[in-house]
Structures are given as structure tokens and as C-alpha cells.
Chains A and B, each alone.
Chain A
Amino acid sequence: MKRMEEAKRQYDDIPIPKELSERVLAEIEKAGIKRREKAAWERRRRIMKRGKMAAAAAAAAVVLFTAGVNTSEVFARELQDIPVLGTMARVLTFRSYETESEDLKISVDIPSIEMIAQNLSGMEDAVNEEIYVFCEQYADAAVERAKEYRQAFLDTGGTEEEWAAHNISIKVWYEVKSQTDRYLSLVVMGSENWTSAYNQAKYYNFDLEAGKWITLQDVLGEDYAQTATQSILRQIEKRETEDGVEYWVEEWEGIGENPNFYMNPGGNPVVVLEKYEIAPGTAGMPEFEIPVQ
């Protein structure tokens, strides 16, 4: 047992690097921010839920209380929330803010999906939370990157005036790609105007009939990867002769698992490839519509 005591002494002598406490504290701080964000989100969600319930109540009562519309401001506001017939879900701007300081402009529009149809209620919660966290985190990280960039610029001899001329801006926004009786597709994006290296886009597709979030496999079936890859290769051939854009077909390994896509209004999926995945950066993020057989 003596040897074990000696071993323990050596163990206790393992020196503690000074970075340890910094890194532990940084992690605690990061978690704290996330936690506050999540709490803020929960609060908002509760408020939205309450609003939705009020709207449903108003919808039920609308026939009886038409006389009340002009006299009650609250009532009129609730009336706007009554869904148009046939619409089962919609996308709202959940939170929108813009800040502009001397050298940094940020604009953020965070979407939120609202399921109107009773049977879909609650299916949006997890995705809304994910979208919210994605947007906030992107914005925070972009601000950090801008600060680092600024520091590096100043450290290497740039002046404050020159820096201000960069007009740094950060944007987080969304686009509803389609909204039909069958599908709801939207994309949430983040970009910075001084670099495209961190651009991000997340696609969300909901099948209103099936009542679920879908992947490309749900639309194209088991062989989705092959179907999509072949269709893309055919389209590339056509594009190369017609538009003269050069694609890197040889190096491309076909679409990966869970590729980005959205449903277009015609009901076909449109696969969105990453920048540089198959073509020079000037081609951006190439899109290919894949016809459903």
C-alpha cells in the first residue's frame, strides 16, 4: 500500500495550468448566456400560446359578436389573428431587431412557425426553439468575429477611420420558400458582409398532410440520394452547354445525407448544394429542382 500512497502523491503533484480556471469560467459564462436565452424564449412562447388561445376563442365567438368589432380595440386585434380558411400553418416574425453602432450594423429577423390546424398544434415548438437559438447564436458569433477582425485590423496598422469605412454588417433573416396546402418550406439564413466563409442557411420543410417535418427521403423515397444525384448530373450537363458554367462533376460524390432542400410551389423538392461543393464560388449555392415521379 506504500506504493499506492506514493502514486497518490505524484497524482496530487500534477500541476494545474493557469488556463484551467479561465476555460472553466468561460464555459460557465457561455452556458449562462444560453440559459438566459432559453428562459427568454420560454417566456415568449408562453405569451404566444396565450395569444393563440385568445384567437381561437374569438374565432368561435365571431358570429355572435360581430357588433363588437368596431367598439373593442382588443377584439379587433384578435380578429386579425383569425386564420384564413384553408391555411393550416403560417410563419411570423417572432422577433426583429436592428442595432447600429459606429462601426457595426446588425439586423436580425427571427421567424416563428405557428400551426393553426388543431391536430398540428405543438409540432412547431422544438423547431421554433431551434431556429431561435440558431439565430441568436449566429448573431453573437458574428459579432465576436467582427470584433476579432477589427482587432486584427487595428493591430496590423489600420486606423479607426479606415475601419469604420468597412461598413461591417451582420444579417440574420428568413425566407418562406413556399406555402401550399401540402407543404410549408422556409429557410433561415445568416451572413456577414465581409466574409462569406461563415454564411449559413438552414432549411425547414413541413408536410401539412402527413403532419411532420420531412427529409428528402420522405419526398423522393428510399433511393432519394441516387435519384437526386442523377437528376442533378443530367441538369448540370444541360447547364454547362447552355450557360457555360463550369461544374466540378468529377470530384463530386453526389448528395450527402440529409441535404438542404426546400419544396417549391409546384410540389417538387429543390436541392441546394453548398457553395464550392460542385462549382466555383461565383455560382453561389446552386439549386436543382428534382421532379417527383
Chain B
Amino acid sequence: MKQTLYDMLVAYIVQEQNKFYRLAYSYVKNQEDALDVVQNAVCRALENYDSLRDEKAVKTWFYKILVNECFALLKAKKRMVLSEDDSYWEIPYEEEGYEIHDDLHIQIGQMEKDVQTIIKLRFFEELTLEEISRVLEINLNTVKAKLYRGLKTLRVAIGKERGA
């Protein structure tokens, strides 16, 4: 029984890895970090697969791990920048990679953590609101409220830019 659940998880990861990567990339914005995030998430998922109780929950369970890893990496990077004395801090060399030029992406990237994740999962990963509430472990109504608030902010922000 357990064996099959583990195998199923492995199969799910192999099959969906591109999606994981895109989502990770949308947060960390560079290839190396996105690869690290996906790798860490896979490692963590396989290590803790006992906490996966139900085959049907695998998607939301994995997204939860993945999103947590994204924020953990962003936080670690931020701490590194802050803790370094300015005079010693070298601007890291970032490889010229794929850049998302769309200003909507930039706007989304500036939003509050949860709102950002809700929008990405809803519109890019096409999860249902119910699934999102399981990923973020917040209740459905809160998810809805945050989503609508987020969309409103986006419209305002985009509107402003156009007006300018």
C-alpha cells in the first residue's frame, strides 16, 4: 500500500516537473535558483512522503512544499544581501536568461506572498480555489477574499500605468 503511494508520488513528480520548474522560476527569476528549488522540493517530498495520506491529495501537497521552498530561498537570499556589508557586496552575475517582460507579471511579483501565490496557482497553474486553500492551508473564503483584493489592486495598478 505504502509502496504504491511512494511510486505514485515519484511518477507524479516525473510527469509534472516542468510545471514545478515554471512556478519556481516565476518566483526566483533565474534558472539556477529555480532548479535548486525544484530539487529541494523533490527531496523534501520524498523524505516526508509518510505525511502524504491520500493519493488524491498529492497535487496540493506537493505544491505546498514547492511554494514553501520558493519563499525559503527568497528569504535566504534576502538575508544574505542584508547581512553583507555594502562595500563588500558584489553584484551577483546573473545569466542572461528568459525574461518575463509582461508588466502584469511584475505587478504580481510585488504583491503580498499569499496573494501572489493565489493568482499564480489560479491563473497559471489552473488550480481550483479549493485546491489553493489546501495548498496555503487557509480557508476558502479567505482565499476568495484575497484573490479579489489582489485582482482589484492589479487593475488599479495597470490602469494607473496606462493613465501615466
Contact = CB atoms under 8 A, between A and B. Distances in A.
State the majority secondary structure of interface residues on B.
Answer: helix
Nearest to B31: A17
State the majority secondary structure of interface residues on A.
Answer: helix
Contacts of A8: 123-124
Given A8-B123, A24-B13, A24-B17, A15 B98 contact: yes
A11 B35 contact: no
B138 interface: no
Contact of B42 (A4, A13, A19, A27): A27
A12 interface: yes
Given A14-B26, A14-B98, A4 B38 contact: no
B18 A20 contact: yes
A17 B32 CA distance: 10
Contacts, number: 75
Contacts of B124: 7-8, 11-12
A63 to B, nearest CB: 45
A31 B22 contact: no
B123 A7 contact: yes
B117 to A, nearest CB: 14
A3 interface: yes
A4 B107 CA distance: 12
Interface of A: 3-4, 6-8, 10-17, 19-21, 23-28, 30-31, 34-35
Given A8-B124, A10-B105, A34-B47, 17 more contacts: A3-B158, A6-B102, A8-B123, A11-B22, A11-B105, A11-B124, A12-B124, A14-B21, A14-B22, A14-B98, A20-B18, A20-B21, A24-B38, A25-B14, A27-B42, A28-B13, A35-B6
